[in-house]
Structure 1
Amino acid sequence: MLKAMVPSADILGAVSVASFPRNTYANYARLIDTADIVLSHTIHDQYPVEWLRTSNLKVLCGDRLHLIPNLYFLGYTPDMVYLHADGSRHVVQGPMTDYHLASVIYAYQQGRSPDRAAALFSDDAFFQQNYAGAAEQSLIELTRREAHLDIRMVDYVAEHYKHRRLFHTLNHPTAHLLSVLADRILTHLGIAHYDMREVIQEDPLSDIVKAPHPAVHRMLGLTFDNPPVDRSYSLKSNLTPDLHSLRYYTSVELVEAYYAVYQRHREVIMAYQTQISA
């Protein structure tokens, strides 16, 4: 996206925090040392690859380093969670890979049928009781995360989230929101660029698209259209996600897929604390 906005720019590459332990400095020294501008999310001092920690990048890169927001919003999907078990969030992967829905886990633990579990998605009282403050708390958390940054996005999210879909999952922004972020980055850097904010473009983080539940749509007063299906991965015969096969799920089909996975990991699922009060 940055390349499209500044065609003359030479984008040298990226270092993924998810590629630990391969993301050593030895593997990326040329990339980092030759870059005129280095963009990074804030990376805490407990991250196992020391050179990627923000405190060390500041020393390594000096004023070439610019910290950008790590976009996050729970408002649309307040029941979306990671399962952290045995020290890993990858221990149970369902149709949405690491993403799970606490409402579905709760229904499974209660022995509800897939139909009754899916009915929770439209239960206004259930979501009001358990998630009424999720959107506001997300904005407070994003404000906290951005407090030390020169480039901020919480104002845009707060102003527009009710009227335009800005996230596919809790931390996968839409192409539009990414283009707004890119515009703000380039403006901060003083680099002339094309305005791509309203241009239809490839959506790089849209493999998994979780629509707001009907109850959430009503609770937040969202005005954009809410699709009746979600998009994610098919399950292979061994009930793991097929990362090469996307499909659409109705609410009941999505619950059925999760239930099939949870039957194979029943001990982990039954021990999970959903923090839901019925």
Structure 2
Amino acid sequence: MSQNNMTSMKPLILFYGNCQMHALMQIMSPVLRARDCDMRCVPCFLPDIIDEAEFTELVSRAAVIVTQPIRQGYRGKSYLHTQFVIDHADANARVFVCPSVHFAFYHFDSFHGPQLPNTLVYHFRALCRAHAQGKTPAEFMAQVLRNPEWRTEAELLEIAADNIAELRRREEQMRVEFAHPSVTIVPVADFFAQHFRHHLLMHTLNHPGKFVLQHLVTQILTSLQYSLDVNTDIDPLSDSGQCLLYECVRKVMRTPPDVAYDATLPKLSVEGDEAVVEAYYASYDQFQTDTCALARR
């Protein structure tokens, strides 16, 4: 598409990737609206996959693309991967590749599993084991959730260091794999290294909180020389739930003791660690879940 064609219409800002991309768009939207931009988010994970012709048209028309590393052959399609986006973007477009943020320090005991009607898609190995052993919710909370000595500081800091090292490894891989004049890599590892003990940066293993999202947005807008007047009040991915934060992790963090980090199950309007634990127990009982097997995942 020529430069004249790109400037004859509202500039399109295209976000493509997982739920983190939609969250970035929500935070960035006041700035983009003020610049009279069109915004479009294409999720890569929904059952209804966008067809190649429509996707190619969007990519080629976009003035700015914000995306993530997506492997070739993703979902059995030849056009959903990141290199396709780079190859089919307009010569004058800017492409920002953000990491798909995953950080296990806060919720090291959690894992992806079946989403039961009364749980998140995340489960907790210690909770599964407690349920399988016939322990009550109160016993799990006393022995694990609220036990500051359940894991040592050294063990937890090693998890954090491993997570940060993995973020750095992925960033370097992105710089090599997606090297192109139009591409800007948006890093996040140093931000985690600096702030992970001072803020709760993740709601779940792969749902970053607003501090992380705002950091990514700030880098993108600064590179574009756009205003930084973003929506700082919203925390988009909090709507999907907050995992349990064990007391041993809270002990390692340097946040004020009166700051609450209660777990939530938004779809049930359940808030608070005790209520969330009881909801998991009730769901496992109702659906006769083999929590012993689940804990071994």
Q: TM-score range by the shorter chain?
A: 0.7 to 0.9
Q: Which residue of 2 aligns with 1:192?
A: 226
Of 246, 249, 258, 1:213 maps to: 246
Q: Give the percent of matched residue pairs that are identical in Structure 1 and Structure 2.
A: 23
Offset at residue 170 of structure 1 (A):
1.9
Q: Judge conservation of contact 2:102–2:205 (CA < 8 Å) in 1.
A: yes
In 2, Cα distance between the equivalents of 1:191 and 1:70?
24
Q: Judge conservation of contact 2:132–2:290 (CA < 8 Å) in 1.
A: no
RMSD: 2.6
In structure 2, relative to structure 1, the CA distance for the partners of 1:68 and 1:221 (3 Å cut) is closer
Q: Which residue of 1 aligns with 2:169?
A: 144
Deviations 1:92-148 (A, max 9, x none): 325442111222112112221111112211223432399533222211221122222
Structure 2 unaligned segments of length 5 or more: list them. Answer: 1-26, 176-184
TM-score (norm 2): 0.75
1:41 maps onto 2:64 in alignment: no
Q: Judge conservation of contact 2:128–2:295 (CA < 8 Å) in 1.
A: no
Q: Judge conservation of contact 2:105–2:163 (CA < 8 Å) in 1.
A: yes
TM-score (norm 1): 0.80
In 1, Cα distance between the equivalents of 2:277 and 2:214?
33
In 2, Cα distance between the equivalents of 1:263 and 1:4?
45
Deviations 1:21-48 (A, max 9, x none): 4333244344223111211110122421
1:115 maps onto 2:138 in alignment: yes
Structure 1 unaligned segments of length 5 or more: list them. Answer: 84-90, 234-242
In structure 2, relative to structure 1, the CA distance for the partners of 1:195 and 1:92 (3 Å cut) is closer
Q: Judge conservation of contact 2:109–2:125 (CA < 8 Å) in 1.
A: yes
Q: Which residue of 1 aligns with 2:39?
A: 12
Matches within 5 A, 1:65-76: 65-76=95-106
Give 3-state SS (helix, strand or coil) of 1:15's partner.
Answer: strand
Aligned length in residues: 253
Deviations 1:139-172 (A, max 9, x none): 1221122222421011111101211232222222
Deviations 1:225-245 (A, max 9, x none): 441632223xxxxxxxxx3x5
